[in-house]
Amino acid sequence: MLVRKDSKVIAVDGSRMALFKNVGEAFAPVLELIEEHKNPSLRTSEIGTDKPGRTFQSKTPRRGTHELTDFQQQEEDRFSIEVAEKIDKIVSETKAGVVLVAAPRALGVIRKNLEADTSAKLLAEIPKAFGSGEAEALAKMLTKHEA
C-alpha cells in the first residue's frame, strides 16, 4: 500500500491510540509518533463489585444466574467512541490522507461512530492490532498491505 509522505496513520486497540506521521517515502514509510492517548485501565473489581444476579423458579427448586456484565469491554467501547470523535477531527484537518489500523472489535465500534464523510475520506481501514511502540512493524505491514 502506498502511504504518501505526510499522511497520518492512526493505530488503535481497546486501551490506547497512537497517531503517526509518515516522514519517509510512499514505498518505504517511516512512521514518527505525533501523539498518544491511553485509556486508564481499572481492574474489574474496581469498576463493578456486584455479584451476578440470580433467578428463582417458583414451581421447581431450580436456581440460575445471569451473566455478569463485562465492564472492561464497556470501558474499551467507550474509549473507541472517544477515538472516533478524535478521528473525525484529524481527518477534517488533514489534507494528505489518513490510514486507520485498529483491532477488529475496536474498528467495528469506531466505524459505527464515525461521520459518513470521515469514512469516505479514509485511505484504508485495516483490522489489525498495533500499539504505539510498534512503529517499525506497522510500517512494514503497510508496505505489504494491499488496499
Confidence of residue 42 (pLDDT cuts 50, 70, 90): low
pLDDT at residue 68, as a whole number:
66
Across 20-27, average pLDDT = 90
Contacts for 96 with CB less than 8 Å, ≥ 6 apart:
4, 5, 6, 7, 8
pLDDT at residue 74, as a whole number:
84
Pairing relationship of beta strands 124-127 and 98-102 according to DSSP bridges: parallel
- Could you give the number of structural domains in the chain? 1
Q: What stretches of the chain show up as alpha helix (H) in DSSP?
A: 44-47, 71-93, 104-113, 116-121, 135-144
Q: Quick check: is 53 in a domain? A: no
Q: Are 131 and 18 in contact (CB under 8 A)?
A: yes
pLDDT at residue 83, as a whole number:
94
| Average pLDDT of the chain to the nearest whole number | 84
pLDDT at residue 40, as a whole number:
76
Alpha carbon distance 18, 10 (integer Å): 6
Confidence of residue 132 (pLDDT cuts 50, 70, 90): low
Tell me the one-letter amino acid at 76: E
Alpha carbon distance 46, 60 (integer Å): 36
Q: What is the CA radius of gyration of the chain?
A: 20
**Residue 143 reports pLDDT greater than 90:** no
pLDDT at residue 146, as a whole number:
74
Contacts for 2 with CB less than 8 Å, ≥ 6 apart:
26, 27
Check which CATH number belongs to the domain holding 126 and give it.
Answer: 3.30.420.60
pLDDT at residue 13, as a whole number:
85
**Residue 4 reports pLDDT greater than 70:** yes
Q: Which domain holds residue 125?
A: 1-38+74-147
